[in-house]
Amino acid sequence: MISRPKPASQFFPILSILLCIVSSQVWAQTTETSPDKTIEQKPSPMNGLPPEKTPTGPSQPELREKFKNQISGFAFGRSEKYYSFQVARMLDSQWAIGLNGYTNSYVNRFDNDTAYSYFLPPHDFYGRLRNHQEKYWGGAFFVQRFIADSPFFVSLWLGREHYQKNQTALYWESAGNTYRFEKDSYSSGPRNYAGFGVGFRFQTVSGFFFGWEGVWSWYSPYHNSFSVSDLYYSDRTANIGDLLYRRYAYQNSERLPGSSFGLNLFVGWAF
């Protein structure tokens, strides 16, 4: 599941709504019958012609009954790498159960912030240069219920997730020409969660299928672990008190939300 507490995550619900609209159009086009050519005499008992038959392909429920086993996944990667794998089994044409596993990592190098203290003395430039890496990994059991004869479904999730963040940071100020360097580590989990999803899965007659799912998740209380190491000051030697203070400050600067929204994309094969 693509679920990140980063600014981009606020666009996931909007993207899910757009995907829902597009998916509706795709399904509508596949269910529409193509217009027939002009028939000079319409079928009627009066002219002895047989009733007109409109050829139709198998419906989505029929295809789901035929292809009960599903294997799917999705992956992309550059600065952010995401991998997911999912297996599911149709119990009938409407109900399905399955397992999902995923990992998501994000690397940001040379993240640079600069500020100027205008109101509070000393009036000075301050800055931070850091490299940081975030990683999520986890899995879940889910139950899906398709809505009537459509490819849309709702789902319930029960899962567990881990989170880890590592960063190296250099803090500096221009007035005293001083700086501080430190390595920080933050991990949480395992975080148990329950989720509710809305999605779309379109099954083709060849066995190939594709779709998406938006999942809202709520986390139970979980354990957090913080550590600060390799602490250096340019104007003095760091002591135990400095290390404990930096750990306390880092602990209060990092907060994970109690709920999140994730967008899951998948393509796969059913048999």
pLDDT, tens digit (0-9, with 9 covering 90-100), for 78-115: 878 999 999 999 999 999 999 999 999 999 988 888 88
Q: Give mean pLDDT, residues 255-259.
A: 87
pLDDT, position 232: 94
pLDDT, position 257: 86
Q: Which of 30-44, 117-131, 152-166 has the highest mean pLDDT?
A: 152-166
pLDDT, position 254: 86
Residue 270 lies in a domain: no
pLDDT, position 255: 82
Residue 264 lies in a domain: no
Provide the mean pLDDT of the chain.
Answer: 85
Residue 243 lies in a domain: yes
Rg (CA), the chain: 27
> How many domains does one find in the chain?
1
Query: What would the two tokens of residue 162 be?
Result: 């881990």
Residue 123 lies in a domain: yes
Q: Is the pLDDT of residue 41 over 60?
A: no
Residue 5 lies in a domain: no
Q: Give mean pLDDT, residues 189-213.
A: 96
Q: Is the pLDDT of residue 125 over 80?
A: yes
Residue 22 lies in a domain: no
Residue with tokens 């007035």: 175
Q: Which residues pair with 185 in a beta bridge?
A: 166, 227
Cβ distance 161 to 136 under 8 Å?
yes
Q: Is the pLDDT of residue 6 over 70?
A: no
Q: Give mean pLDDT, residues 147-174.
A: 94
pLDDT, position 189: 86
> Nearest to residue 261, comparing CAs of 14, 31, 47?
14
Residue-number span of the structural domain to which 118 is assigned: 77-195+216-256
Residue 4 lies in a domain: no
